[in-house]
A and B are shown apart, each in its own frame.
Chain A
Amino acid sequence: MGPPVSPLASLVPPPEAQPVRAVRIEAPAQQRPAVGDRTEGPAIYKVEAPDASPWYGEALERISSLTALAVGWNGYDAREVKADMAIDAAKFLAKVAFPGIAAPSVTPLAEGGLQVEWHRGGLDIEVAFSDEEPGVYIVDREGDELELPLTEAVSAIISFWPRLQES
């Protein structure tokens, strides 16, 4: 006879759904400078972008939700999304969420990073926040291919933004 099994065992969610997160990122309700507000439990990092696109708040929620992914979330050996990568991605979005720019996709990376992506206007732009391979990768389907350091991510988005506008 095996060990006793808790009657709650079947109620435990699968690992990828565990509500454990390293950081929560939100837009502040009142105007204040961007600030890291470390408290008990998950760190809350508030990022201000008062004139941001309507999708900005949803993007922050999405980044926060990705930090709740547990080890192995990709069906293999992915790591948890790191809090500092999530904060860096949120700060980047605060700088590029101009009114009119289309919402990007935000995807997790298996090594613990995040990637912000736009695939529109004949452009494929991927901004990777990663310890292993941070940077910007841009494919212009009219011919050019660019690899840039992460420090140039904001200026790259500004230069391409007319092609990234919402349709």
Chain B
Amino acid sequence: MIPDDAEVPEETNLYRRVHPTEIVWNDNDGCLRPASGVFKDPEMSIHLGDVLADEEREPASVLDGKPTHSLVSLTAGFVKEEDQTVRRTPIPDDASHGEVCGKKSQSRRKKFARAAQFVVLREDALNPDELVKMRNSGNVAATHPLR
């Protein structure tokens, strides 16, 4: 069991649920992305990958009971470089719960949105308007491009 006050290693994946209405087509990048508003909260809830691994849980398990949400990840190292701190704040139903704390300017939120990787993308739940934009651009797959 990982103590609540243990440092969060840089390579730790931080997962966050994304509602389908928060996923938009970005024609500049040619892919779907979480909207920058997803990353606005100065105390942003996330789920710590090392705790999930310690509990032998798959990352997608944080979507249990959320049949339309998708899941994105950032690394602890990335958010720390953006002047954020990562806290372990377990809650009764979820020992993996944590928070990314710090001011998130518009510029910083945009960086988060561009860096976030989809771990689970529930395309069937997305806003049809965004899928139309995707298909009109000549793309047939919603998957995030590898960079």
Contact = CB atoms under 8 A, between A and B. Distances in A.
Contacts of B40: 109-111, 133
B27 A74 contact: no
A62 B26 CA distance: 18
Contacts of A75: 17-19, 66, 69
Interface residues of A, number: 38
B37 A109 contact: yes
A54 to B, nearest CB: 12
A163 to B, nearest CB: 11
B50 interface: no
A145 B130 CA distance: 25
A107 B22 contact: yes
Contact of B37 (A73, A108, A135): A108
Given A111-B40, A119-B27, A137 B22 contact: no
Contact of B19 (A74, A115, A135, A167): A74
B68 interface: yes
A117 B17 contact: no
A76 B27 CA distance: 28
B48 interface: no
Contact of B21 (A66, A117, A119): A66
B127 interface: yes
A58 B28 contact: no
Contact of B24 (A76, A105, A122, A141): A105
Interface in A9-46: 14, 16
A16 B28 contact: no
A74 B36 contact: no
B106 interface: yes
B22 A108 contact: yes
Interface of B: 17-19, 21-22, 24-29, 33, 35-38, 40-41, 45, 66-69, 106-107, 110, 127, 129-130, 133, 136-137
Given A75-B19, A115-B36, A119-B33, 19 more contacts: A66-B21, A69-B19, A73-B21, A74-B22, A75-B69, A76-B17, A105-B130, A107-B37, A109-B37, A110-B40, A115-B35, A119-B25, A124-B26, A124-B110, A126-B36, A126-B110, A137-B110, A147-B106, A167-B136
